[in-house]
């Protein structure tokens, strides 16, 4: 993986790039996330796809301007990112917040988007869960114990949590403006219009993947996405929580490759 930076609307944006295929694949992380959250999946995908994984504007090592972090802002950012890199066609994968952003992008019916994969996407759940509460506290008061506890709740108590991922999260959330971005994103999601109308506009092939043990955005919300997006297919991942790209990247890679290769 190569670390790169690009200027988008006067903001310095960091991203990871891997692979040399003429088939492009953009990966969008979730709330409080960063590009390396995909690092376990990227080796499985980079042999067949040219991968771009940005730190979304406001997150990771990308700039954090003092603006309202709404779904519209993130959607515009993604299209500006694609345009700036000169990408003409691409498939997209998004998880959690990133999944909602991918869905919002696809709802514009842009011809540049070929297929999309949504992993436990946000956008429908309107109430919090104990896991989301713990994750929010970890973001606002980042230390090793609070972050480890939140990550453990996300993946399940029987799984190991990477010390490197904990350290990255603490470092990223300790950056200037990081907490403001996190809270602004939460408010932006809470105050956003109902996503159902947008989901019904999606007309590209769509795969929805959901960990059956997801305690941050429970599996029950998957059926509402499937019913709203015409022709979409749901693949439950047994034994996985909110982060199958971390918990079982090999199996996830097989599922993704099968869908994208059709």
In the chain, the domains with their CATH numbers are: 2-127+193-261 (3.40.50.1820)
* DSSP symbol at 98: H
According to the model, what pLDDT value does residue 67 have?
97
Give 126's pLDDT tier (boundaries 50, 70, 90).
Answer: confident
Provide the percentage of residues in the chain whose pLDDT is more than 90: 94
Give 42's pLDDT tier (boundaries 50, 70, 90).
Answer: very high
According to the model, what pLDDT value does residue 6 have?
98
Which strands form 233-237's sheet, in the order they lie side by side?
2-8, 11-18, 50-54, 24-28, 90-95, 113-119, 206-211, 233-237
Whether pLDDT at 157 is above 80: no
Instruction: Scan for tokens 């509402």, then name that residue.
Output: 224
Consecutive H or E run containing 44: helix 42-45
pLDDT digits (tens, 9 = 90+) for 213-243: 999 999 999 999 999 999 999 999 999 999 9
Whether pLDDT at 193 is above 90: no
**Is residue 96 a contact partner of residue 242, using CB atoms and an 8 Å limit?**
yes
Query: Distance between CA 61 and CA 166 in Å, rounded?
Result: 16
According to the model, what pLDDT value does residue 156 have?
81
**Residue range 162-171: mean pLDDT, rounded:** 96
**Residue range 97-126: mean pLDDT, rounded:** 96
According to the model, what pLDDT value does residue 159 have?
85
pLDDT digits (tens, 9 = 90+) for 95-110: 999 999 999 999 999 9
Query: Distance between CA 45 and CA 66 in Å, rounded?
Result: 35
Which candidate, 48, 210, 67, places its Cα nearest to that of 125? 210
pTM for the predicted model, two decimal places: 0.96
Question: What is the per-residue DSSP string for 173-242?
Answer: HTSTTHHHHHHHHHHHHHHSPPSHHHHTT--S-EEEEEETT-TTTTGGGHHHHHHHSTT-EEEEETT--S
């Amino acid at each position: 993986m190569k670390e790169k930076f690009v200027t988008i609307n006067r903001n310095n944006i960091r991203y990871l790039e891997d692979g040399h295929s003429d088939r492009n694949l953009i990966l969008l992380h979730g709330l409080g996330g960063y590009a390396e959250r995909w690092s376990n999946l990227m080796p499985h995908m980079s042999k067949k796809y040219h991968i771009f994984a940005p730190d979304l504007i406001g997150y990771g090592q990308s700039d954090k301007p003092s603006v309202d972090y709404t779904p519209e802002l993130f959607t515009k950012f993604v299209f500006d990112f694609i345009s700036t890199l000169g990408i003409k066609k691409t498939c997209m994968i998004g998880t959690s917040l990133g999944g909602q952003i991918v869905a919002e992008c696809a709802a514009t019916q842009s011809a540049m988007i070929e297929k999309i994969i949504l992993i436990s996407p946000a956008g429908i759940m309107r109430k919090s869960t104990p896991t989301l509460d713990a994750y929010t506290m970890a973001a606002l008061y980042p230390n090793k114990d609070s972050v480890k506890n939140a990550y453990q709740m996300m993946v399940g108590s029987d799984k190991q949590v990477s010390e490197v991922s904990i350290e990255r999260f603490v470092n990223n959330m300790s950056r200037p403006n990081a907490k403001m971005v996190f809270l602004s994103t939460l408010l932006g999601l809470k105050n956003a219009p109902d996503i159902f109308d947008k989901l019904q506009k999606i007309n590209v092939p769509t795969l929805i993947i959901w960990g059956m043990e997801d305690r941050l955005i429970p599996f029950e919300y998957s059926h509402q996405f499937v019913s709203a997006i015409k022709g979409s297919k749901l693949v439950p991942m047994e034994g996985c929580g909110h982060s199958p790209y971390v918990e079982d990247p090999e199996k996830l890679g097989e599922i993704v490759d099968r869908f994208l290769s059709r």
